[in-house]
Structure 1
């Protein structure tokens, strides 16, 4: 008699445990729950990406200081000297083709690179 009672109780407990586990898993797989999980993971990934970007920026600044010291670019600047400006475009004569005076024009190519494809 006790053996039957034991197995009946063990079976009922296993059934309750399995039912609870299945119901918990079903709740995890609802669209609302999946959306919340995805949002949480996106927030965590965003924080990790921000931390990575801050580490990269800090490393860049540190390396820039190291290079400046190694190349002697951190010399004190005399405030009486004029600021030397660097232009990305070479100075040249203007020939009247709507280009600002003092800038070199790129050679004009009559073909379109996209026509080859």
Structure 2
């Protein structure tokens, strides 16, 4: 009697386990589940690539600053180099300015009426 009860219980447990396993696999293979899984994998991959790119950019920036310091030392440029003031360019040229006028039409006498 115990053998029959044991094997019956074992069979029921195996059936429940197999049914549960198959139902889970079927749910994983639905289009919605496959799309969600693909989206999650894409987000994880994008985050990994972003982390690597940020790390690479920081490494490049650190090495660039180090190399600039080496070049400044080699060229003798101190911490406070005296550079000329930056040039200022006008957006619109003043064509009435004396440098654009012909010398024959421009009078250099400022007291003369024009």
* TM-score (norm. length: structure 1): 0.64
Instruction: Please give the secondary structure, in 1, of the residue aligned with 2:3.
Output: helix
Q: Name the counterpart of 1:38.
A: 38
The CA RMSD over aligned residues, in Å, is 1.9
Unaligned runs of 5+ in 2: 88-114
* Structural mapping, 1:28-107, within 5 Å: 28-72=28-72, 75=78, 76-79=80-83, 81-83=84-86
Shift of residue 29 of structure 1? 0.8
How many residues in Structure 1 have an aligned counterpart in Structure 2? Answer: 83
Name segments (4+ residues, structure 1) moved above 4 Å.
none
1:61 and 1:2 map into 2 onto residues whose CA distance is 76
Structure showing the higher helix proportion among its residues: 2
Larger Cα Rg: Structure 1 or Structure 2? 2
Which one scores higher on RCO, CA 8 angstroms, separation ≥ 6? Answer: 1
2:86 and 2:54 map into 1 onto residues whose CA distance is 31
